[in-house]
Structure 1
Amino acid sequence: MKTKKSLKLNFIFNSILTASNLIFPLITFPYISRILLPDGTGKVSFATSVIYYFNVFAQLGIPTYGIRACARVRDKKEELTNTVREIMLINICTTIISYVFFFISLYNIPQLAEEKELMIIVSLTMLFNTFGVEWLYKALEEYAYITIRSMVFKIIAIVAMFILIHDKNDYILYGAISIFAASASNLLNFINMRKFIERKKSDYRLQLKKHIKAIFIFFAMSVATTIYTHLDTVMLGFMKTDTDVGYYNAAVKIKTILISFVTSLGTVLLPRTSYYIEHGHEEAFKNIIQKAFSFVLILSAAVSVYFILFAKQGIYFLSGSAFNGAILPMQIIMPTVFLVGLTNIMGIQILIPLGKEKYVLYSEIVGAAVNLIINLILIPQYASVGAAVGTLAAELAVFAVQYAALKNIMKEIYKNMYFVKIFVALVLSGALASTIKLLDLIPFFTLLISMILFFMIYILTLTKAKYKLVLEMEAELIDKIKVIFKNRCR
C-alpha cells in the first residue's frame, strides 16, 4: 500500500471539498431561507441538533480515533483489515443502541413527537455515518475520492432543492435533501471499502478490548464538544421559539462554513502527524505544525474580522431582511472562527497525535460547563444573542485550557507568529474595505467588492511586512506559474 501521498495535493482536494461546502449553502440557503422563513429553517435546525446528540453516542468518538488507529497501520494490509473490522463492529453495536434510545425519546418527548417524520428522516445520518467509514478513507489520505464523491451528491441535492421546494411547508423535504447531500454518499464508501481491506476471512480473533479505552476518551471528547456546539440550538428550541432558532441558525450557518474552511488544512494533517509520531519523525512533526499554525492564524484572523464588519450584508445576502435578528448574534460569534482554528491545531494536530487526548477532553468539559451555565443565564432574556455569548465564552475556555496544557510548546511556536504585523494588516484592510458600505450597494456587490479589497490589502500588507509564510507561498506560486509558461512555450 502506498505509504505517503502528497500533502499539498491532499490539501488542494480538501480545499476543493471545503469550497464546495461553502458554495453549497451560498447557493441554496438564500433560496431556502426565503421560502421556509425563520420558522421552517428553525425546525430543521432544531431536529438536526437533537439528532446530533444521538449521533455522538452512535459514533462513540470513532470518526477521530479511527483516523489515528488506521493511519498507524495503513502500510500493513492485514493489520489494517483487522483494525477496520474491529472498529466497525463496535460502531454497529453503538448505533443500534443509539437508535433504541432515539425511538424511546421520539415517542415520549412532546417537542420531538410534534415533528416525528422530520426527526426520523434526519436520524438516517447515524446509519449513513456508521457504514460510511469515512475515517478509513481519511487515514489512507484518499482525499481525491472523498472530494469527487461528495461534490457529485451535493450537485444532485442542489438541483433537487430548486425543483422540489416551493412552499414553507416543504421543510421536511428540505431536511431529507440536506441529509442526502451530507451523508448519503457514505454508502459508496462501504461498497468501495473492499479495495483497501482484505475480503477473505482469516483465523484472526477480533480484539475489541484494545480499542475501547481510547474510543471512550474520544467519545467523551465528542460529548463535551457536542454540548457546547449544539446545546445552544437545542436550548433555544426548548426555551424560546422556532423563530429564535432560525435567527441563530442563520448566524451559525456562516460561522460553520468559515470554520470548515479554516480547519481544512488540519483535516489532512491528522493522519500525517500521527504517522510522523508513530515512526519517530519529530523534526518533520515540528515543521508541519509550525506552518499549520501560521497558515491558520493568518486565515482565521482575517475571516473573523471581515465578517464582523460585514455581518449585516452577509445575513441579508444569505437569508434576507427577515433575518435581521441574526446580525448581532453573528457578530458576537465570529471570533470563534479564530479560536476554533487555533484549538483545532493544538488539540487535534498536537495533543491527539502525541497521545495526550485527555487534555483535549478536559478543555471540552470546561467549555461545555461554561456554555451550559451562560446559556441558562442569558437565553431566557436575550434568546439568540445569549446563545452566541455562551458559545464565544465556551471557545475561549477551550483555548485557555489547551494553551495551558501546551504552554512550553506554544510559547516557542508563537515566537514566530509576528502578531503585530497581522494586527496592522487587519486594521488597514478593515478600515479601507469598510468604505465600500458608503456606496450603499445591494448586499451581494457590497460583499464582493469589499471582500476583494479587504483580502488584497491584507495580503499586500503582510507581503510588505515580510511575513515569512506569505512570502514562501507567493514564491512557490510564482515558480509554478513560470513552469506552466515554460511548458506552454515548448
Structure 2
Amino acid sequence: MQVAKNYLYTAAYQLLNIIAPLITMPYLARVLGRNGVGVASWTNSFATYFLLIASLGIVTYGSREIAYVKDNKQARQQKFWEIQIIHTIAGMFSLVLYFLFLKFGVQWNSNIENNQIYLLLQTWIIISGILDISWYFMGLEDFKKTVLRNALVKIAMTVLIFILVKTPHDIGNYILLLGLSQVFGNLSMWFYLFKKMSWPVWSQLNLKEHVNPIFMMFLPTIATQVYLQLNKTMLPFFTNSTDSAGFYDNADRIIKVSLALVTSVGTVMLPRMSAQFAKGQFGKMKQNIIQSMDFVSALSVPMAFGMAAVAPTAMVWFLGQEFATVGHVIVLLSPIIVFIGWSTVIGTQYLVPTKRLNEFTLSVTIGAVANVLLNFWLIYVAGVNGAAIATTLSEFLVIAFQLYITRNDMNSWRHFSGMWRYLIAGIAMYWLVTVVSQCVNISVQSTILELVLGVFVYVIILIVLRAPILKKVPFLDKIAK
C-alpha cells in the first residue's frame, strides 16, 4: 500500500511536470525566440556539470543509506549529518570551480565571453543543489513532502514566467527564475527537518565511511549527466549557432515529460528495494523487478511510439514553425523512453540497492564514452539529428550491458515475456496515428484526435491479446482473466 501511495504522489507530480512545460514551452519559444531558448539551454548545460560536483550523486546514495536505518532514529540522524556535511563541502568546492571557469573561460571561447552574465546567473542552480535534502525524506519513503514542495515550486515558477518573461531581452529573468525557484523550494524542506532532527554528536561523526561509496555513486551520476548535457554543450561549437542547442533541449524536455512517469517507478522502489536487501529478502526483490519491468514496458512502449507518431506535426503548432526541427529530433530520441525505463528498473532498483555500484558505474560509463565518441562523428555529419542518434545508441548500450551483467541473477527473458503484446499494440498505434496525421490539417484538435485514437487502439489490442498488466487496472481486470 505504501509503495502504491508513493507512486501516486510521484506520478501526480510528474503529471504536473507534463502540464507545466506544455504551458510554458510554447510561450517561451515565441517570446525568447530560437536564440533566447538556445542561450538559456546552452548556459544551463555548463552550470549542470558543476551542479553534479555539488550533488555527488547523494540523492541516490543518501536515500539508500537512510532507508537502511530508517527504523533507528539515532543512526538515521547521524547518517544524515555525515552525508550532508560531505554534500556541503562538495558544494562549496564546486562553486569555487565554477567561478574559476567563468574567470578563465572567456579566454577560451567567444561564446562564453558573450554570455558571461547568463552563465553567472546560472550560479543559483548550483546553490540549489547544495540545499537539496529531498534524499532524506525519500529514504523514509515520505514522498508526500517532496512532492508537495516540488509541486508548489513548479506552479509558482510557471506563473512567474508569464509575469517576468515578456520580451526576448528577458533571458536573464528566465534563468534567474529557474535558479531561485529551486533555491527557495529546497530551502523549504529544511523546515520539515528541524521539527524531527536534533544536532549530531560531533565527536561520533564518521565522514570517512561515506567518502568511497559516495564517490562510487558519483561516477555513474556524472557519467549519465555528461552524455545528457554534452550534446547541448557541443552543438554550438560544431554548428556555430546556439539555436541547435535550443532545438535539442526542447526535444529532450518533451521526451523527459513522458519519461518522468516511467522513471517514477525506480524512484519510489529504491528505498523499498534497499530495505528488502538489508533484510535478505532476495526473492521479493526479484519478483518486484519482474513486475516493475512489465509495468515500465506497458507504459514506455506506447509513449515512445506515440511521441514518434505525433511529434513532427504537433511541434509545428506547439512551438511554432521555426521550431519544426524539434519534431524530427523527438522521433530519433523516442526509443530512449523504453531504454531508460528499463535501465531505471535494472540499475536503480537492483544494482544500486544491492551495492553493485562498480557494475552500475561501468554500465553508464560505457554509455557516456559511446555518446562522446558518437557525438564527434554524428554531430559533424548530421548536426542536431546526429546528437539525437548518438543519445539513443548510447542508452541502448547501457541497458544491454546491464541485462548482460545480471543474466545470472535473474532470468532476463522473464523481463520481456509480455513484451511482444506491447510491441504489436504500439506498432499498430503508430501506424494508425501516422495515417491520420497525413489526412488532417496540423492543429491542436488533430493532435488530440491522434492521441485519443492511439490510446484507444493500444488498449483494445492489449485487451484482445489478454495482456497480464490489465489485471492490475480497475474495470479491465475481469476482461484480462
> In 1, distance between residues paired with 2:272 and 2:161?
37
Residue by residue over 1:343-399, the C-alpha shift from the partner in whole angstroms, topping out at 9 and shown as x without a partner, is 111111111111112111111111111111111112223221111111111111111
**In structure 2, C-alpha distance between the alignment counterparts of 1:59 and 1:8, rounded to whole Å:** 28
Give 1:9 shift. 0.7
Instruction: Name the residue aligned to 2:206.
Output: 207
Find runs of 4+ consecutive structure 1 residues off by over 6 angstroms.
476-479
Match for residue 37 of structure 1 among 33, 50, 63: 33
- 2:315 corresponds to 1:315: yes
Q: Give the TM-score of the pair, scaled to structure 1.
A: 0.92
Change (3 A) 1:192 1:317: farther
CA distance in 2, matches of 1:409, 1:313: 44
1:63 aligns with 2:63: no
Of all paired residues, the percent bearing the same amino acid is 25
**Larger displacement relative to structure 2 (428-437 or 464-473):** 428-437
Is contact 1:375-1:387 (8 Å) kept?
Answer: yes
Separation in 1, partners of 2:27, 2:287: 44
Counting only pairs closer than 5 Å after superposition, residues 316-465 of structure 1 correspond to structure 2 as 316-412=316-412, 414=414, 417-465=417-465
Instruction: Note the C-alpha offset of 1:187.
Output: 0.6
Paired with 1:184 and 1:452, the residues of 2 have a C-alpha distance of 38
**Kept after mapping to 2: 8 A contact 1:351/1:357:** yes
Q: Deviations over 1:321-342 (max 9, x none)?
A: 1112223222111111110000
SS in 2 for 1:347: helix
Equivalent residue number for residue 286 of structure 1: 286
Matched-pair contact (CA < 8 Å) for 2:298–2:469 = no
Contact 2:471 2:478 in 1 (8 A): no
Paired with 2:182 and 2:336, the residues of 1 have a C-alpha distance of 23
- Verify the 8 A CA contact 2:64 2:139 in the aligned structure 1: yes
Letter of the 2:27 partner, please give it.
Answer: Y
Supply the distance in 2 between the matched residues of 1:437 and 1:33 (Cα, whole angstroms): 23
* Match status 1:11 vs 2:10: no
C-alpha change, 1:335 and 1:82, in structure 2 (3 Å) is: same
Deviation string, structure 1 residues 216-246 (Cα, Å, up to 9, x no partner) = 1111111211221111111113332111111
- Contact kept, 8 Å, 1:153 with 1:180, in 2: the verdict is no
Provide the C-alpha distance between the structure 1 equivalents of 2:203 and 2:258, rounded to a whole number of angstroms: 45
Match for residue 466 of structure 2? 466
Asked if residue 81 in structure 1 is aligned to residue 77 in structure 2, the reply is yes
8 A Cα contact 1:107 1:113, kept in partner: no
In the alignment, structure 1 segments of 5+ residues that lack a partner are 480-490
Measure, in 2, the Cα distance between the counterparts of 1:246 and 1:443: 23
CA distance in 2, matches of 1:308, 1:397: 21
Q: Are the structure 2 counterparts of residues 194 and 476 from structure 1 closer, same or farther at C-alpha, using a change threshold of 3 Å?
A: farther
Are 2:87 and 1:91 equivalent residues in the alignment? yes
Matches for 1:47-58 after TM superposition, within 5 Å: 47-58=43-54
Distance 1:413 1:17 in 2: 32
Q: Secondary structure at the match of 1:458?
A: helix
Would the aligned equivalents of 1:232 and 1:375 in 2 still touch at CA under 8 Å? yes
Letter in 1 for 2:356: K
RMSD value over aligned CA atoms?
A: 1.9
Task: Identify the residue that residue 162 of structure 1 maps to in structure 2.
Answer: 162
Question: Is contact 1:77-1:196 (8 Å) kept?
Answer: no
Per the normalisation by structure 2, the TM-score is 0.94
Q: Distance in 1 between matches of 2:259 and 2:233?
A: 20
Q: Which residue of 1 aligns with 2:267?
A: 267
Counterparts in 2 of 1:375 and 1:455: CA distance versus 1, 3 Å: same
Supply the AA of the counterpart residue of 2:464. Answer: K
- Alpha-carbon displacement from aligned partner over 1:293-315 (angstroms, at most 9, x marks no partner): 11101111111111111121332
Contact 1:92 1:130 in 2 (8 A): yes
Tell me the distance in 2 between the aligned counterparts of 1:96 and 1:252: 30
Change in 2 beyond 3 A, CA 1:321/1:181: farther
Asked whether 1:185 is paired with 2:185, we answer yes
Structure 2 residues without counterparts, runs of 5 or longer:
none
| 1:436 Cα deviation after fit | 2.7
Task: Give the whole-Å Cα distance in 2 for the aligned partners of 1:113 and 1:230.
Answer: 20
Q: Tell me by how many angstroms 1:467 deviates.
A: 1.0
Q: How does 1:15-26 map to 2 (within 5 A)?
A: 15-26=11-22
Instruction: Give, as a single letter, the amino acid of the residue that structure 1 aligns with 2:381.
Output: Q
- Can you list the C-alpha shifts for 1:157-207, whole angstroms capped at 9, x where unaligned? 11111122111111111112223444531011122212342x245365110
Counterpart residue identity of residue 173, structure 2: L
The residue type paired with residue 430 of structure 1 is Y
Alpha-carbon distance in 2 for matches of 1:149, 1:431? 41
Q: Is the 8 A contact 1:290 1:413 kept in 2?
A: no
Equivalent pairs, count: 474
Between the aligned partners of 1:146 and 1:352, the Cα distance in structure 2 is 21
Distance 1:113 1:87 in 2: 36
Which shows bigger deviation, 203-212 or 227-236? 203-212
Structure 1 residue 410 displacement after superposition? 4.8
Higher mean C-alpha displacement, 259-268 vs 199-208: 199-208
Partners of 1:463 and 1:471 within 8 A in 2: no
**Contact 1:236 1:245 survives alignment (8 Å):** yes
